[in-house]
Amino acid sequence: MTVIRVAALTGILVLTSLQGCVAPVSGTVVRPESADVPGTDVKRELEADLTAAEARHHIAVMGAQIARDAAAHRVEMARVELQLALEGLQLFQRERELDLEEGRQDLERDEFSLEQAVAELRELREMYEEEEFAKTTKELVLRRGEMRVEMQKNSLRLARERHELLERSLRSDEVEKRQAVEEARRGVAEAEAEQRKTDLEQDLEVREVQREAEKLRAEVEGGR
């Protein structure tokens, strides 16, 4: 009887020991620890994003410099156009004075020639009235004097018309020259405003890309 009790007790102890070594059926299955460090994939993704952000920042800096250079070039070209327009106006004004002076001199010559022709005709008529000349000779000489007067009148009339047209043409040309100067001034103002706008836009874009890269860099360094 004693032997039976000892055997039973031994069996119970062995069974209890085996139950403590076996995992429960309804519970989390314990698996071997992964060789990878927890969060490795996330870190790698952040590092890849940081690399891309730094590349975008570099591209943005280069693009900003190109845009600034282009804007500065447009300003310089607009200023050159303004300088050329101003020089063109000054040159035109000088040429206008010369043209007007030449026109006035032509008018004075034609007026003087007409006065001379009228005076000569008057002298001829007075001379033929006081002295006796052949009728044919007198008529021929007087006719020549009268024709000379008419020709000088026509010449003076044409000279005055030419001078008037010259003045009108020069006024019109001066208006165009002054308009060109004003347009060039507006071009400079617009180019300078566009340059300021470009600088602000490029600075903003570069700062935004830079902040993105700095944020990702902080996340990557904080996860180490």
The pLDDT tens digits for 180-196 are 999 999 999 999 999 99
CA 25 from centroid of its chain's CA atoms: 79
Q: Closest Cα partner for 111 from 156, 142, 146? A: 156
Q: Closest Cα partner for 144 from 158, 116, 124? A: 124
- What is the C-alpha to C-alpha distance for residues 169 and 172, in angstroms, rounded to an integer? 5
pLDDT for res 67: 94
pTM for this predicted structure: 0.62
Rounded mean pLDDT of 135-146?
Answer: 79
Q: Closest Cα partner for 116 from 144, 157, 152, 143? A: 152
Total length of the chain:
224
- What is the C-alpha to C-alpha distance for residues 159 and 166, in angstroms, rounded to an integer? 10
Q: Count Cα neighbours of 16 within 13 Å in the Cβ-side half-sphere.
A: 6
The answer, yes or no, to whether residue 54 has pLDDT greater than 70, is yes
The answer, yes or no, to whether residue 39 has pLDDT greater than 80, is no
